[in-house]
Amino acid sequence: MGIKEAKTIWFDGEYIPWGDANVHITAHALHYGSSVFEGIRAYETPDGPAIFRLSDHIDRLFDSAKIHRIAIPFTPEQVEEACRGIIVENGLASAYLRPLVFRGAESLGVTGADCPIQIAVIAFEWGAYLGEAGLTAGVDVGVSSWSRAAPNTFPAMAKAGGNYLSSQLVANEARRHGYAEGVALDHQGYVSEGSGENIFLVKKGKLFTPPVSAAILPGLTRDTVITLARERGYSVTEDRIPREALYVADEVFFTGTAAEITPVRSVDGIPIGAHRRGAITEQIQNDFFGLFDGRTADRWGWLDRVRAARPVAMTAGK
């Protein structure tokens, strides 16, 4: 599935044509994975496009950069404004937003200390990540032979380019085995997460999900689901999950900005529950998608409305 090109990209403070947003072949990030990024969705709502949990995503972007000692040459407010602006510039009703910060071209020394820090915000239209059908029917997944990195190797909490080599191993192996997605265990053998999603299971009406210490990326959709489920009166426990607990769960689902809330109908060929989307998964999906069509009141200030004013170029804020 190719990217559906938009008109403009915000690059180092300016809106430039999509085709001009290029880097030199010696860019540090290309060689060593030295980038941090976000994936954010903007949804079409009755009041126009709204970006879901924008400030939380930008906070995580700055946290990822802090972990890797990357100084972003703009303020969080400026990056948020670029996220709103790029939607307006491209006239998008809904979008997937990809803010990307990376060490650019200057030297190929491993530290990257001399390299300029560059930043872009890309916006394009993107449908359901694991397929529209998967959202209702559920997807088939397999536990990966690749584990997540141990905590003292490289940081799982940072959403960094290099981390996604691990995700690629998991996702590509899963596709080779005919699964829609793979689930990685952590270095101790407990359930961690999908290649680009957090995972939940439901057992006897209660929800469980691996803790941050299980090498997960602390997902904002995960946090949203925990909030919505508790709001409905469900107990949600963050605890270590052995692989086989997935097999005997009543329901399993993934959460992620791209995957949204995707039910899992089988793990390693073992049917989960009734081998289709479970009732609690469906209820939480309805609450989640209801945020965007007005059925669920946004009591948390999660929707950041995009104003229709024409965006302006900016200079670095720090």
- What does the CA dihedral 87, 97, 64, 317 come to, rounded to 10 degrees? -20
Clarify whether 318 is annotated catalytic.
Answer: no
Please say which residue, 50 or 314, places its beta carbon nearer to ligand PMP: 50
CA distance 113 to 117: 10
Residue nearest to ligand PMP (CB): 219
Question: Using the rule CB under 6 A, is 45 a contact of ligand PMP?
Answer: no
Q: Mark 177-206 with x for binding to ligand PMP (rule: CB under 6 A) and - for no binding.
A: ----------------x--xxx--------
Question: Using the rule CB under 6 A, is 151 a contact of ligand PMP?
Answer: no
Question: Using the rule CB under 6 A, is 266 a contact of ligand PMP?
Answer: no
Q: CA of 139: how far to CAs of 148, 193, 194, 207, 284, in Å? A: 22, 15, 12, 19, 17
Which of the residues 7, 159, 206, 318 is marked catalytic? 159
Nearest distance, CB of residue 156 and ligand PMP, angstroms: 8
Question: Using the rule CB under 6 A, is 35 a contact of ligand PMP?
Answer: no
Please say which residue, 209 or 257, places its beta carbon nearer to ligand PMP: 257
Which residue(s) pair with 34 in the sheet? none
Please say which residue, 56 or 298, places its beta carbon nearer to ligand PMP: 56
Q: What residue spans of the chain are helical by DSSP H?
A: 28-32, 54-67, 76-89, 132-137, 164-176, 220-231, 243-247, 279-293
Nearest distance, CB of residue 310 and ligand PMP, angstroms: 29
Q: In sequence order, which residues have a C-beta less than 8 Å from that of residue 3 and are 6 or more positions away? A: 124
Figure out which of the listed residues 28, 68, 98, 222 binds ligand PMP, where binding follows CB under 6 A.
222
HEC assignment per residue over 252-276: EEEEECCCEEEEEEEECCEECCCCC
Interface residues with ligand PMP (CB under 6 A)?
39, 167, 193, 196-198, 217, 219-222, 255-257
Catalytic residues: 159
